[in-house]
Amino acid sequence: MDDQFLIIGLGNPGPEYADTRHNIGFMCLDCLQKKIVPSSSFKYENDYHAEIDKGKLAGISVSLVKPQTFMNLSGKTARALLVDFPVMESAKVIIVHDDLDLPLGRIKLKSGGGSGGHNGIKSLIEELGRTDFLRLRLGISGASRSADTIDYVLSPFQDGEEKMVSEVIEKSVDGLFLILTSGVTVAMNQINRRVVEPT
């Protein structure tokens, strides 16, 4: 049980949000799930109000979680999970989420800190009463960024951004693999230097 990791991707449930910027956390977990348990699928678990799948990455047990509570209530899923999952060590709880303060193509790994105005992270902090979980922050700010934050994060990526988004997701999956196999310090040093350049 000591090697159990909990990876929570943030997003909003429902097909109308599937391809929006705010859901890049879900997109990353979908990609990771296909790599580690391709014959399986996410299943809704009512006790946690989340879609969950489990598998092994580099021989390490991982639970992949997509809260179905909507973004601003994501912490409720995390709190319910941590009652039942033996994953209380902060370095083994990884949150994957969009970050409007980072440009599209930028990926950063961070431990602790405030919410930065992100409603999903704010909910996690409020419900868990702690800030020391890991955050894999995926930049979503592009050239088309509008003044209305809500409309922007709930808008889909543009056609010209799709290739970069795919590369960001692939590198994010690589980053998660690095966290599990090499530890936080090594992963942070490598992930935070990576930038996906537009093509």
Domain locations in the chain as residue ranges:
5-191
Please give the angle made by the CA atoms of 12, 17 and 22, to the nearest 5 degrees.
60
- In whole angstroms, give the CA distance from residue 113 to residue 99: 14
- In whole numbers, what is the pLDDT of the chain averaged over residues? 90
Residue 147's identity, in one-letter code, is: A
Chosen CATH of 5-191 out of 3.30.70.1450, 3.40.50.1470, 3.40.470.10, 3.90.1150.10: 3.40.50.1470
Q: Let me know if 138 is exposed, middle or buried by CB neighbors in 10 A (0-12, 13-18, 19+).
A: buried
Q: What pLDDT is recorded for position 1?
A: 42
Per-residue model confidence as pLDDT tens digits over 100-113: 999 999 999 999 99
Q: Once rounded to an integer, what is the mean pLDDT over residues 144-168?
A: 89
* Of residues 36 and 97, more confidently modeled: 97
* Of residues 71 and 85, more confidently modeled: 71
Residue 18's identity, in one-letter code, is: A
Residue 64's identity, in one-letter code, is: L
- Bridge partners (DSSP) listed for residue 43: 52
Check if the beta carbon of residue 105 is closer than 8 Å to that of residue 115.
no
Active site residues: 22
